[in-house]
Amino acid sequence: MADRVLEAVQAGVRIVDLGRQLFAGMPQSPNHPQFMHVLPRRHGDSYRPDGDSAANDLLVTGTHVGTHIDAFAHVSHQGALHGGAPVAEVMDHGRFLQHGVHTIAPMVRRGVLLDVAACLGVDRCAAAYEITAADLDATVARQGTDVRAGDVVLIRSGWGALFDEGTAAYLGKESGVPGVGAQGARWLVDHGVHAAGADTIAFERLAPGSGHANLPAHRLLLVDGGVYIVETLNLEELSLLGAYEFTFVLVPLNILGATGSPVRPLAVLADG
């Protein structure tokens, strides 16, 4: 039997890379270890008898750096993880054997872009703007794209365009950062989504000057709702294409017991 997936690919698909390039000095949360990349072995340090030379790399990074996914082990509430799992019981020698990132199955799911900035008629939501349930409903209506149980929903505020302007602009510590709050998180949970992502550093709305001191959407999604979070996405190309519905592909690194993982998610679109 012919491989139908291969046939579909050969017939023509367009792949949109939703991940950010990883590099030392890129914008990232100050709460996580800095990304570092060095070459401990360089070409010319040694040669094989035939004249060949090899180089290799060393990476040091937090698991919540760059475009990444939050596992359920990332956030607890009153000592418990999703489903009421007590932190003290599920953590073993600094690893979460339950709810660690290794428990996230590879995702090949229906993806939906909710382009809230476009719905509001702006290039970028204002700093500290809270994306409400009414905004999400209005975006769904404008686009004609429904949200179904099991979907991966990506919310574009337009703030992602500031990633290339550096850490201060993208983190918005003094100005605040747009995103959903508790109300928007409940909307996502009520719609039964599998995962939710955004083009900002912490997914949800950050108040001016508060940094990451209060993140209610994280608790509602990861702990209460069982919804994975994907952060620091690049959603600009999808917005330019007006691609509101697509096949979403994401595979976390299979790190035993980790609370998150860098990822390079893809949106697969019919070409033409």
Q: What is the pLDDT of residues 67-85, one digit of tens each?
A: 999 999 999 999 999 999 9
Token pair 């390079």: residue: 264
Residue 2: pLDDT above 80? no
pLDDT of residue 61: 97
Q: What is the rounded CA–CA span in Å between residue 214 and residue 207?
A: 9
Please give the pLDDT value at position 110.
98
HSE toward the beta carbon, residue 147, CA cutoff 13 A:
25
Number of Cβ atoms within 10 Å of the Cβ of 108: 15
Q: What integer pLDDT is reported at residue 214 of this predicted model?
A: 85
Is the alpha carbon torsion for 151, 152, 157, 158 positive or negative?
Answer: negative
Give the pLDDT of residue 209.
87
Q: Could you tell me if 259 and 97 are in contact, meaning their C-beta atoms sit under 8 angstroms apart?
A: no
What is the model's pLDDT at position 5? 67
| Alpha carbon distance 53, 55 (integer Å) | 7
For residue 272, is pLDDT > 50?
yes
Domain 4-20+63-270 class in CATH: alpha beta
pLDDT of residue 12: 80
Residues paired with residue 269 on neighbouring β-strands, in sequence order: 14
pLDDT at 213: 78
Average pLDDT for 15-19: 98
Structure tokens at 160: 């992602």
- Of 186 and 1, the structure prediction assigns the larger pLDDT to 186
Assess contact for 167 and 27: CB atoms under 8 A: yes
What are the residues facing 246 on neighbouring strands? 111
DSSP state of 46: -
Say what the pTM is.
0.94
DSSP string, 181-223: -HHHHHHHHHTT-SEEEESSSSSB-B-TTTTTS--HHHIIIII
Q: Cα separation of 108 and 106, whole Å? A: 7
The structural domains of the chain, with segments of one domain joined by +, span 4-20+63-270
| Whole-number Å distance between alpha carbons of 92 and 72 | 16
Q: Please name the residue that has the structure tokens 């990883």.
A: 22
d(CA 16, CA 21): 14
3-state secondary structure of 112: strand
pLDDT at position 1 over 60? no
Contact 115, 139 (CB under 8 A): yes
Estimate the crossing angle of helix 133-143 against helix 182-190, to 10 degrees.
50
C-beta atoms surrounding 249 within 10 Å: 19
Q: What is the mean pLDDT of residues 106-131?
A: 98
The model's pLDDT over 196-241, given as tens digits with 9 standing for 90+, comes to: 999 999 999 999 988 777 899 999 999 999 999 999 999 999 999 9
pLDDT of residue 23: 96
**What's the distance, CA 65 to chain centroid?**
10
Tokens of 169: 């602009």
